Amino acid sequence: EAGVTQFPSHSVIEKGQTVTLRCDPISGHDNLYWYRRVMGKEIKFLLHFVKESKQDESGMPNNRFLAERTGGTYSTLKVQPAELEDSGVYFCASSSSRHTQYFGPGTRLTVL
């Protein structure tokens, strides 16, 4: 069974540019989560999808961040325009009804 995959693995952009991160959850997992870890801090929750619906987006930092989950399959997280403080590692996780969240390898975003 394939795990959670994320693309790209690394992204380096300039302040003000747009970046889109993609996450493919484990097949059959209805729950999809986005988390972020900024330098030296803990992993923090951003958003939770159940199928294509946003269940909880209380962790989204501001309206420069837009997450979508087309047809309840893969998800994208767009940052527009990117700011320096958006740099960090963005993790995606998925779970079935059994609660355990499985994490992807993360996308390391660097905003210059």
Partner 1 sequence: QKEVEQNSGPLSVPEGAIASLNCTYSDRGSQSFFWYRQYSGKSPELIMFIYSNGDKEDGRFTAQLNKASQYVSLLIRDSQPSDSATYLCAVGSGGNEKLTFGTGTRLTIIP
Binding site for partner 1 (CB under 8 A): 4, 31, 33, 35, 41-45, 48, 50, 55-56, 58-59, 91, 95, 97, 99-106
Confirm if 29 and 95 have CB atoms less than 8 A apart.
yes
Q: Which is nearer to partner 1, 36 or 82 (CB)?
A: 36
3 state DSSP class of 86: helix
Q: How far is Cα 56 from Cα 48, in angstroms, rounded to an integer?
A: 5
Tell me which residue has tokens 């990117």: 82
Q: Which is nearer to partner 1, 26 or 81 (CB)?
A: 26
Q: Which is nearer to partner 1, 3 or 16 (CB)?
A: 3
